[in-house]
Structures are given as structure tokens and as C-alpha cells.
Structure 1
Amino acid sequence: MGIIHLHRIFKPLFLFLFFFAISLRITIAQPAAPSPSADACNGVFLSYQYTSGHIIPPRYAAGSPLQPYKFQSTLTILNNGLNDLKSWQVFVGFQHNEYLVSASNAVLVDGTSLPASVENGTAFAGYPATDLKTAIETAGDLTQMQAVIDLVGTTFGVSNVSMPSNISLVNANYICPQPTMQGTSEMIVCCTLDPTVKVNTTSTQKFLPRQSGDLVITYDVTQSLASSYLAQVTISNNNPLGRLDYWMLSWDWMRGEFIGTMKGAYPTVVDTTECLYGPQGTYYQGIDFSSSSSSVLNCDRRPTIVDLPPQYANDSTLGKIPYCCRNGTILPYAMDSSKSTSVFQLQVYKMPPDLNRTTLYPPQNFMINGTFNPDYRCGPPVRVTPTEFPDPMGLPSNVTALASWQVVCNMTQPTTPKCCVSFSSYLNDSVIPCKTCACGCQSNPSHTCSATTPALLLPPDAALVPFANRTNLTTAWAQIKHWPVPSPMPCGDNCGVSINWHLYTDYSTGWSARVTLFNWGGNNFADWFAAVKLDKATPGFQAMYSFNASVLPGINGVNNTIFMQGLSGLNYLVAEAPASDPKANPPVPGKQQSVISFTVKNIPNLDLLGGDAFPSKVFFNGLECSIPSLLPSKGDRMVATSAMSSFLLAVVVLIFVQR
């Protein structure tokens, strides 16, 4: 009877606890309800809500702008429109020197890995879910319509609520008005499709159209098993001035993946330690993770991959991949279409819970760079229509990839140039050298030279010797010309490559210039190229005699850039030759030279001596070079470029005429 009595007492309690647990589980599984303001939005509703924050060490005096504070915020993206929002991207205008530590369900669009500084604002992209469906096709299922991003980071100098200056949807064809505040801790905005853009609401297209960019990386899954897949990575250069030498590609594995074997490229470090002592080693008991094994190459969360040398192109184990094995050289398409692409393959092992053939995720946060090249900023992988490949058996058909993603990267010039330009003319016996510290200087060079004093004009022969050997020639030239010699002397340009543009001749029907490339560094440049932008004179281009040259079509819609490269067999700019006694016999730079000719026919208002005969921009291997602020003129007089004329009037080292 006692047992029956206890059963009668505890049975209702057990039932209560059981149904309470079920209801709690259901409650937790449901996504957070959107803000009531979202009901009035028939587009894409964005919300940024500050949830909490507190002071963290180190402690500074009250009110110090250096005082760090932890902040936690929630970014919500809700699709209330009629169209799927594919590959959503949202910009958050952080404004308090924020340092972002983590972001759930998202990655940074610029490919930066967290933690990272976002002080100038940043854009987020969805990961692993990239698309938001509509309420109509999901019956209002918020798990498919909404993305909730939990942000954790550090802000500085803001002790209370830290809010961004703006939030907006980055996706094309959407218009976002100025966001509004709901109280002091929530910012909202409703973004709608541009009414002037026609959108096919009945389209069944699964993926976004392929995008264009300076450099495009395509990640194709070509074979898939339950626990691994084979991917092919294609790097394509689309910019006529883009280039990579010894490219290095890196990304982040987000789901515990690791690299098995590779063909056409190789990781910079072969290391399986993280797998051996991590969950990968526990799950894959049958894989040999020792360094002597060839079954696994790299287990880094962020591997770095490089191209193979040419001798591996036909290697049956590592090569035999089209467009591989060129030491990481990718040239412009117009220069050599066969060298404008690099391709490699890799075997990728997956981890639970992704162990089926259809669960495929690309890596994130792609980054690519070279040795003496522009920088590239890459966006997130975007799912696109599967790539088509020629049938491997030669049949008249194509084979599609199982899944394809596209990463678009665009060129950015480095803050500090790596090359510079000097100007000279037949009208003047002085050379305008590269700017002082054109390619950077030491943080405190004042002990030996001045980083702010303008470079002194040079005698023609001084331009042929390294900066360290020019002092006597330069000071003697200044004394001959009766120019004051500053103390300390100006610092050098510190550039590895310089280009001299010399106005060679000027006659009634045309003119010519002489272009000389100098390599002051220790590295050879194979397949080099240069480009000059002549704002008015380019239509008169006729020929270049020791280089191959042509006008590039439509750079930003204007044909004003001349592309030049070495002739076949002569496209090698050698490194500086060392000297046994640098003081007595200066090192000799690598040098290439050619004359370029122009006509003035049908080009009205061309003022050659006023500056039209000199380029406004010069590039070497895709890098924009530093250009002087002066132009040569007759005698000892120099002409200041318009942007610098007011400043240079105060300089007494040279005699100037305002342009």
C-alpha cells in the first residue's frame, strides 16, 4: 500500500516535470521574436540592439578615451519581403574603436578573421546559412526568414550604451533610409527593393549570378563522399594591371576540416599535430597522422597554400593539373592568357555532424597576396551555378561540379608605395629624382637624414648609381648651380624599383620619350610589365621600339593607359649586381630601356611642356608608383604640378615657376 500511495503522489509530479521539460525545450528551440517594429516593414528589417556591457582592465582615470569596455549586442536581419535574400550582407558603422571578438552565424565580408579591429565599420555576411527565405514560402518560419548575430567585443571610452552610427543592407538593388533609434539601445531600419529595378518574383534560380572582380577565386566540389570531398580551386586574374608573384592563399576552416592530399599546390607547412591531438584524431582512428604519412598534409585551422615550381608540372603525384606549377605567377590576361589563371586540387576531410555527401561548406575568410604586387581584399564565398568542365574523356559534353562558390577579390594599393618615378627632359640638364622617402623611411631617420626635406635635383649620371653613392655628385651639382645644400641631407627614396621618364624629343608633328626601368633590389623580375597613364597624349601613341606596348582598352571607360612589357626573350629585369667595393665601384642596377613615340595630330590643346608629356600615374607589376611633384622645364627652372604649387612656393632649395 505504501508503494501505491507513493505512486499516486509522484505520478502527477512526474507528468508535470515531463511536460515542463518538453515546453522548455520547445521554447529554447524557437528563435527570438523580432522587434514589434518589424511588422511595419515589408522589406528587409535590420535591428542592432545593445544588450550589455561593463568596464574591463586595464583601469584608467575616469573619462579616459583609452578605457576599454566589453560590449554585447545583437544584430538581426529579417526578410519580410517577397523575394529571397541571397547571400545577405549588412554593414554596421562601428564608431568607437571597436575590437570585435566574436560574431555568431556570420563572418566579416572583407575576409578578416576574428578577433579584429572594426573601428571604421565592417560588413557581415551569413555563415553557415547565407540566404533568407520569405514568409510566404516558409509559412512564416523565422528560422528560415531571420538571422540573429550575437556580437561580443571591446569598445573604448564609452561607459554606457555603445551604438554604431549606421546600419544598412549591402545587397544590390536595396535602398535603406537613415536608421532610427528605439530608445537608447536599439537602432532599426527597413530596407526595400529599388522600385526602378525589375525583379522576377517567379524565378526559380537557386543561386546568385556570377560576379566580376579584379581577381576571382572559384571553389568547386568535384567529388563527394560521406566523410570527405575533392575540391578544385581556380584563381583567375581579370584586371589588366593585376598581377601576383609567388602567390600565397589562405582561408579559415570553420567546421574542423583538414587537408588530405593536394595536386598543383602545397601547404607552406606540413603539420598534422592539431589533428593528432584534436577531435579529428579521435574520430579518424584509421588515418595515420604521423609526419611521414602522405595521407594528411595539414591540419591548421588557417592553412597557407602556395603554387609549385615548374618542375612539378608533369609529376604524376603532385602535378598534371592544367595551369598549375608556375611558382605562383599570375599575369594579366592581355599579357599572356595561359598565365592568367592558377589551378590546384585538394582532398578535404569533414567532421561530424557533416558526414554525408550533400553537406558541403566552403572555407571562409579568403586572403591572397604576392611578393611585389598590389594587395587584394576578398569577399565571402557566394554560392553560384555549378561550374562546367570539359568532359575528361574528350566527349562533346560538359561535366558540372557538384557545388561551386565564388570569391571576388579586388585590388587595393598599399599605403606605402614600392616603386617610384623620376622625371627629366632634353630642355633641362637636371633630373627630378624620386621623392624623399617615396617608399617609406625609418620611424626616426633624423640622426642621419631628413625625411621631410625635398630631394635635391641630380646631374644625369647620378641617376645611374645607388642613393648611397650619390651624395658627392649631388652636392657638387648643387654647388655648380648655386643651390643651397640642406643639413641634414634628405633621405633616399628606399624603393626597390624606379622608373625614369625622359622627354626625349619634341618636333612639329610629334614627340618622344625614353623610359628606363631600374631594379635596385636583390630579386629578378621575370615577365615584368609597366603602364603609364597619359591623360591627353595617349591617343597619339605610335610605337615603342625595345618594348612591346599597346593602349589598354577602357580602364574605367577611358583609353588613356599604355601597357608595356619586354620583348620575347628580353622580359627579364635582373637584380642589382653587387660590388666587391661599394664605395669605389657602386653596385649596378638591373636596367631596361626603350624609346616611345607619339604624334600630336588630331589632339587639340596638347601642352607638352606644361605637363601633358609626363604621366599622371605609373605602374610596375600592378603597383602604383610614387610620382614627383615637379615637372622639368627650360634651364634650371622647374614646374610644380598644380596640386603642390602653393606648397612649393615656400621651398627655397630650387627655383620654381607656378604652373
Structure 2
Amino acid sequence: MKMPWMKLICLAFLFLSLRNQICYGAPDDYDDYDEEEEPKEKNPPGQDKCNGIFLTYTFTERNKELPHVKNVTAQAWSFKSKATLVNTGLEELKGWKMFIRFQHREVLVSATNAILVDGAGDFPAKVEKGATLSGYPNTDLKTSVDTAGDLTKMSTEIEFTGTMFGLNEKAIPLPKSIRLANDGWKCPTLTTYRTFLTTCCHKDPKYKSLNQSAKGKYTPRQYGDVNLMYDVLKSYEGSYEAQVTIDNDGTLSRLDNWNLTWEWMRGEFIHSMRGAYTRRIEYSDCIFGLPGQYLKGFDFSQVMNCEKRPVISDLPLEKANDTEIGHIPNCCKNGSLVSPVMDENNARAVFQLRVYKLPPDTPKTVLYPPQRWNITSLVSAHYHCSAPVRVDPSAFPEATGTGAKTYAVASWQVVCNMTKPEKKRAKCCVSFTAYYSNGAVPCSTCACGCDDSQTDKCNPSSRAMLLPPDALLLPAVNRTAKIKAYAKLKKKPVPRAMPCPDNCVVSINWHVSSDHKAGWTARMTLFNWGETQFKDWYAAVELKKAASGYDDVYSFNGTKLVSPKNTIFFQGLKGLEYLIEIKNGSSDSKPKVPGKQQSVISFTKKKPEAINIRKGDGFPSKVFFNGAECALPDSLPSAATLLSSMPLLFFSAIAFLLITYPFHS
């Protein structure tokens, strides 16, 4: 059957159209659609299987810095890297903290979306021993369930720039480890790839915090040695009123003449303050800075402080009832916060301030606390402070006395804990003596630091030399002759450059006075070599094996503490609360006389065979003065020093007696 020519033409066009689509694929608009549907870049290995917080650290690049040197270990390299935290679990992480254990003498120059905490300071920061970072401005990692998978709310990316040392050109500089630093989290497995590290962290089901409050809307409150609260009491357009509370909660912690610092991150400034003051009263930074640009008609002459890092100090006692700058509860204690073991009523300080904000943070609902908190004190411990963590609003008694409570608009907590002092950076030191040795083991060389002017005349690296016990009563500058004479007596070499002194304001001598089957005694002497007296001083000693036998102290008040374990707490008796300053000698030719407090301490031996006084059980493993951990000497007194000083004639007489009158069985 013949087909009409029109039908043949239609069939031909249909065939050509089908052939074109089969041979050449879909049109261009279909190509675009397929590209959009292609899967995006894959997640790092292990992230999809992690039910918790997934961490990564990725090395990006590095370049050789000037100067170029032949010594590989001395060559500096600039580097770039990034770290990510992703909440892949079902529980929100509030106030995240990440620890990175660097290992190539890294110096961090900058980090986005995070700040350094735990005493690392501001950038640039040496982080060769590791660095802990917390989120800023976003501190929390929400879950995928609560955000419909919004990565901007459930993850954080930190970009690092810095300097590192000591690798050849082809090596990839990765940290030794990474982990989540929040309490109660474990990161058991670290996986290392060529250019990055990964780990999956999860909640430890066995973890039970003994130092936090009950759960609320925000992060539970933690409790450390010194706890600070930043409470916004009233919020206005462009400003707010806040209250800062400092609680000294540590058993051994103490603050004398405290100075508190923080860093404003968003251009804020302090307009006024009650209960404390800034060390500098100035407003030039406001006039020539961002506040002057945004607040054109503002009267900055009434502003207290415009520094990015203000230094805040307590007011003296006489300002406590001043209606303009004082007159708030728990203010104005002259910077002294004692241990709660001594006086709970004098362990808290409070001050209030008016803070002004800059655009775009002027709405009353936009509130950011200052960051990088640090607190220091005269002759007290070094403290590492956490980043501010949002907690449930603080409650205060209502002013009318009805029993009702008012609540802060918003509250943040900062926790500071005492740290062990770095070598040669202590604030006090200890010497050891004993009844069975005529040589004193002095404080270690440069125990409290040495400056450059000293090291030209003495050796800061040399070990401290033994000295006669009476030399401990002399200032360090007057001991040289006695040290040399003692070394000559012991036939010990005297170095050309003598060891540098300890340079400590406070030193403590621990002397083992006696040792017998039923017990033993020690004498503790405190010396003040400084120009300032210490009111309401206290000291504490840790005796790991002998503390349980503590019996009595005769010229101090003494208490055996439950926590820390094996620790005895001492303070002055009534009328002896002052450790006075150093005084001039009786004449110009006489050395200065230090302030001194002393007492004998008695101990019993519950199990005599379990305690060996001479081998170290009678000497403290830790000593504290006013909250500061003191530097201990690097050796113990030896009976050999007593024997070596006996006259040769005495030994001859003993030998003669032994030969003439032999022992009989």
C-alpha cells in the first residue's frame, strides 16, 4: 500500500528529531539541571557515622619566612590551617571548647570565630604546649534536628594563621592531637590522614560533675577556685547596667590587691562604675576611636574609661558608704578576698558599671559580655580563666524586703582556677633543714625569677649551694660570704659566678626538729623580705604520708583539711595576724631583719613502720602561702653533711674505742 507523500514527510521529521536526542543528548537546559543535582563535596571520613561532636583539623599551606637559615630546626614557616566542629548528635553542646596539642613550636597569629582561653592570652600567642579555644561570637553547637540541618547553627569553622618551626619543606605539620575540652566529653579515637586529623567525641555516660549546678535553660554553673558573674541588670537602647561578682571559693585561694582585666570585643566602653574603679581614667580612645564616629553629640568628658582592655581594682574600705562611687553590698574591701576557711564574709567582692554599645549592637536585646578575662593579685596564685559562658539569669532579693526575687536580664559566668607556677616564676619559696644535718637546703636559684641586670653578676642556671642554717636569717645579698665559707669547710668547689638568689618576697623554712618511735616534730618559719606587710596571712602544707598524724601546732592556728587531702591549714593567732615587712638592722652596718612568724608542729605515728621521716615523708610535697604555691628545693637534707663536718680527731677517738673495746655477743 502506498502512503501519501505528506505522511512520509511527517515520519521523516519525527525520525530526525528522535535521532538528534539519542545521539547528542538532552538540550542545554537539561545539562544545567543535571549539574545542579550532582552531589556536593563529601563530608570528611567518619563524620556521617559520628553520633556526637565531630572535630577536624586540616593543614592548608605554609611558606618560608625571613630570615632564611640553614638550620632546619631554626627556620620559621608561616602556615594556614582550619579546624571544624560539627554537631552530628542529638544533644546541643553549649559553650564549646576545643583543645589542639600543637607540636612544632607554633605561634598563633589569628583565629576566626574563636578566642584563646585558659591563660593563653591574646594573639600572637605561643601555643607550643597546646591551645584551648572557645567560640566567639557563636558559643553553642545546636543539633541537626533542632535546626533542620542548618550547618551555620550546628557547626563552626576556625581559620588559623601562624608561624611554626623545625620541619623540612616536604613535611606536613599536623598537631599531635585534637579533642573537645568540655567536661564530660570523651574523644577516644584520633584518625590521622596525610593533611588532616579527625575524631568523634561523645558524652561520657559515667561522668558526674561535682562542681556544677542543676540543669536549666543554659549551661549549668561550674565552680572553681575563683568564680565571677557578669549580670546585666538593666538594658536600654545603646547601653546597659551590669554587676560583676567575684567569689573566692577555693579552700587555698586568696586575692590581695586584686586587678581584674577583660577585653571589649565590639567597641564598648565604661561610662561609670560603683564599688570599683579603672586604673586609668581617660576618654581619648573614645574621641579618636569608633565611639567618636558613631556618637557625634555624646559628652565623653564624663566617661570613666575607653580602653579595649581596662584594668579594674577594688576601692578602699573608707569608700564603702560613699553614695557616689560605693554604697553597694560587698564592695570596697581594698582588694582583699580571703579563703572561705578563714572568713566566708570576706570572700566576695561586687561592683557595678554602666556600659555603652555601638551600632549594630544598640538594640536592648543585643548583649555581649567582654572576653579574655584575667585576675591577678599580689603574692597569690596564678589563675587561668575560662571564657564567659551563658548561664541562667542570677536571682537577687527584691529591694522592698517582701521576699520576692528579681532576676538579671542575662548572666554569664567565668571560672578561674589556680595553676601550678611555671619554673622560676613562683611568688614564694621553701628551704629545708633537719636536726640530723648541719647544712640548709636553700630555695632554688631564681625561684621567683631573675632579671637581666642580675644575670650579669650571677649564674641563673647554677644549682643553689648548701649554706649554714643561720644564713637563712640574712637577706640574699648578705649570704655570699657564709656560702663560700661553708663550701670551703665541706671542701666543695666555689664557682666563679655564684648562683643567683631566689628573689622571693616570702620564703618559708621547714625544719624537722625530732623523730622518735611515737611521733616527730617540725618547725615552720615564715620570712617576709618585702616592703609590705601581710595582714591575715595563711599557709598550707601537703604531707602525703604524715598528715594523718597531725597532732597540734603551738603558735599558729592549725586545721587539717578534708579537701585537698593530706593538707594542713595554718593562720596567725589573734594578735599575730600580721607578717610584718622587712626592717633595717640595729645599725647601718647590720643587715636588714625580715618579718618573721614561727611555730612548732607535732605529729604522731599511727604506723611507725610506714613513715620514714629522713627519706622525705617528713617534708611537704606542696607548700602554699596566701594561695600561691611555693617553689620547693630540689633535694632533701642529708645526714652526710653532719658527718663530714665532725672533727677528724673525733673519728679517730671512735675508731680507737672500737678497736680497744670490741663488741661482745
Q: 1:106 aligns with which of 108, 114, 117?
A: 114
> 1:225: Cα distance to partner?
0.9
> 1:359: Cα distance to partner?
1.3
| Contact kept? 1:106, 1:124, Cα under 8 Å | yes
Q: Does 1:210 align with 2:229?
A: no
> 1:246: Cα distance to partner?
1.2
Which residue of 2 is the match for residue 312 of structure 1?
319
Task: Measure, in 2, the Cα distance between the counterparts of 1:330 and 1:33.
Answer: 56
Task: Measure, in 2, the Cα distance between the counterparts of 1:151 and 1:485.
Answer: 52
Which residue of 1 is the match for residue 601 of structure 2?
596
> 1:565: Cα distance to partner?
0.9
Which residue of 1 is the match for residue 104 of structure 2?
96
Give, as a single letter, the amino acid of the residue that structure 1 aligns with 2:343: D
- Structure 1 residues 465 and 447: alpha-carbon distance in aligned structure 2, compared to 1, 3 A threshold: closer
Q: What is the 5 A alignment of 1:121-520?
A: 121-158=130-167, 159=169, 161-181=172-192, 184-194=194-204, 205-290=216-301, 293=302, 296-415=303-422, 416=424, 417-441=426-450, 445=455, 447=457, 452-460=462-470, 462-475=471-484, 483-484=491-492, 486-488=494-496, 489-506=498-515, 509-520=518-529
1:584-639: CA deviation from partner (whole Å, max 9, x where unpaired): 2111111112222233356663334454333232221222223341225498149x
| Contact kept? 2:216, 2:392, Cα under 8 Å | no
- Structure 1 residues 604 and 146: alpha-carbon distance in aligned structure 2, compared to 1, 3 A threshold: same
> 1:233: Cα distance to partner?
0.9
The more displaced of 524-533 and 166-175 is 166-175
Task: Measure, in 2, the Cα distance between the counterparts of 1:72 and 1:445.
Answer: 39
> 1:483: Cα distance to partner?
4.2
Which residue of 2 is the match for residue 86 of structure 1?
94
| Contact kept? 2:530, 2:581, Cα under 8 Å | yes
Task: Measure, in 2, the Cα distance between the counterparts of 1:500 and 1:59.
Answer: 49
1:311 is paired with a residue whose SS is helix
2:90 is paired with a residue whose SS is coil
- Unaligned 5+ segments in structure 1 are 1-26, 639-659
| Contact kept? 2:544, 2:620, Cα under 8 Å | yes
TM-score (norm 1): 0.83
| Contact kept? 2:582, 2:593, Cα under 8 Å | yes
Task: Measure, in 1, the Cα distance between the counterparts of 2:405 and 2:41.
Answer: 47
> 1:505: Cα distance to partner?
4.5
1:302 is paired with a residue whose SS is coil
Task: Measure, in 1, the Cα distance between the counterparts of 2:79 and 2:575.
Answer: 60
1:468 is paired with a residue whose SS is helix
| Contact kept? 2:443, 2:464, Cα under 8 Å | no
| Contact kept? 1:135, 1:141, Cα under 8 Å | yes
| Contact kept? 2:446, 2:460, Cα under 8 Å | no
> 1:114: Cα distance to partner?
2.1
1:328-364: CA deviation from partner (whole Å, max 9, x where unpaired): 1121110111221221111111111112222111111
Q: Does 1:561 align with 2:567?
A: yes
1:325 is paired with a residue whose SS is coil
Which residue of 1 is the match for residue 32 of structure 2?
none
1:73-127: CA deviation from partner (whole Å, max 9, x where unpaired): 3322211211112111222233332222222211113252223222222122111
| Contact kept? 1:227, 1:351, Cα under 8 Å | yes
Give, as a single letter, the amino acid of the residue that structure 2 aligns with 1:588: V
| Contact kept? 2:517, 2:608, Cα under 8 Å | no
> 1:572: Cα distance to partner?
0.9
- Structure 1 residues 483 and 119: alpha-carbon distance in aligned structure 2, compared to 1, 3 A threshold: closer
- Structure 1 residues 42 and 509: alpha-carbon distance in aligned structure 2, compared to 1, 3 A threshold: closer
Give, as a single letter, the amino acid of the residue that structure 1 aligns with 2:106: E
1:222-280: CA deviation from partner (whole Å, max 9, x where unpaired): 11112111111111122211112111111111111111110111111112112112221
Which residue of 2 is the match for residue 623 of structure 1?
628
- Structure 1 residues 48 and 321: alpha-carbon distance in aligned structure 2, compared to 1, 3 A threshold: same
The more displaced of 133-142 and 94-103 is 94-103
| Contact kept? 2:450, 2:460, Cα under 8 Å | no
Q: 2:579 aligns with which of 573, 580, 590?
A: 573
| Contact kept? 1:424, 1:632, Cα under 8 Å | no
- Structure 1 residues 244 and 484: alpha-carbon distance in aligned structure 2, compared to 1, 3 A threshold: same
Task: Measure, in 1, the Cα distance between the counterparts of 2:206 and 2:468.
Answer: 59
| Contact kept? 2:225, 2:253, Cα under 8 Å | yes
- Structure 1 residues 271 and 562: alpha-carbon distance in aligned structure 2, compared to 1, 3 A threshold: same
| Contact kept? 1:617, 1:624, Cα under 8 Å | yes
Give, as a single letter, the amino acid of the residue that structure 2 aligns with 1:569: G
The more displaced of 420-429 and 516-525 is 420-429
Give, as a single letter, the amino acid of the residue that structure 2 aligns with 1:139: A
> 1:171: Cα distance to partner?
2.5
Q: Does 1:69 align with 2:74?
A: no
| Contact kept? 2:439, 2:637, Cα under 8 Å | no
Give, as a single letter, the amino acid of the residue that structure 2 aligns with 1:589: P
Which residue of 2 is the match for residue 524 of structure 1?
533
| Contact kept? 1:434, 1:455, Cα under 8 Å | no
| Contact kept? 2:184, 2:208, Cα under 8 Å | no
The more displaced of 508-517 and 270-279 is 508-517
| Contact kept? 1:459, 1:474, Cα under 8 Å | no
| Contact kept? 2:375, 2:383, Cα under 8 Å | yes
Identity of paired residues, percent?
A: 47
1:318 is paired with a residue whose SS is coil
How many residues are treated as equivalent by the alignment? 594
> 1:474: Cα distance to partner?
4.7
Instruction: Give the CA RMSD over aligned residues.
Output: 3.0
- Structure 1 residues 173 and 419: alpha-carbon distance in aligned structure 2, compared to 1, 3 A threshold: closer
- Structure 1 residues 513 and 35: alpha-carbon distance in aligned structure 2, compared to 1, 3 A threshold: same
| Contact kept? 1:231, 1:348, Cα under 8 Å | yes
- Structure 1 residues 633 and 208: alpha-carbon distance in aligned structure 2, compared to 1, 3 A threshold: same
1:294-340: CA deviation from partner (whole Å, max 9, x where unpaired): xx111111111111111211111111122222221121110111221
Q: Does 1:612 align with 2:617?
A: yes
Which residue of 2 is the match for residue 15 of structure 1?
none
| Contact kept? 1:432, 1:632, Cα under 8 Å | no
Task: Measure, in 1, the Cα distance between the counterparts of 2:363 and 2:110.
Answer: 28
Give, as a single letter, the amino acid of the residue that structure 2 aligns with 1:287: F
> 1:517: Cα distance to partner?
1.2
Task: Measure, in 2, the Cα distance between the counterparts of 1:572 and 1:69.
Answer: 54
Which residue of 1 is the match for residue 18 of structure 2?
none
1:454-482: CA deviation from partner (whole Å, max 9, x where unpaired): 4233153x332223333444555566x56
- Structure 1 residues 310 and 176: alpha-carbon distance in aligned structure 2, compared to 1, 3 A threshold: same
Which residue of 1 is the match for residue 60 of structure 2?
51
| Contact kept? 1:436, 1:455, Cα under 8 Å | no
Q: What is the 5 A alignment of 1:539-558?
A: 539-555=548-564, 558=565
> 1:550: Cα distance to partner?
0.8
> 1:400: Cα distance to partner?
1.6
> 1:491: Cα distance to partner?
4.1
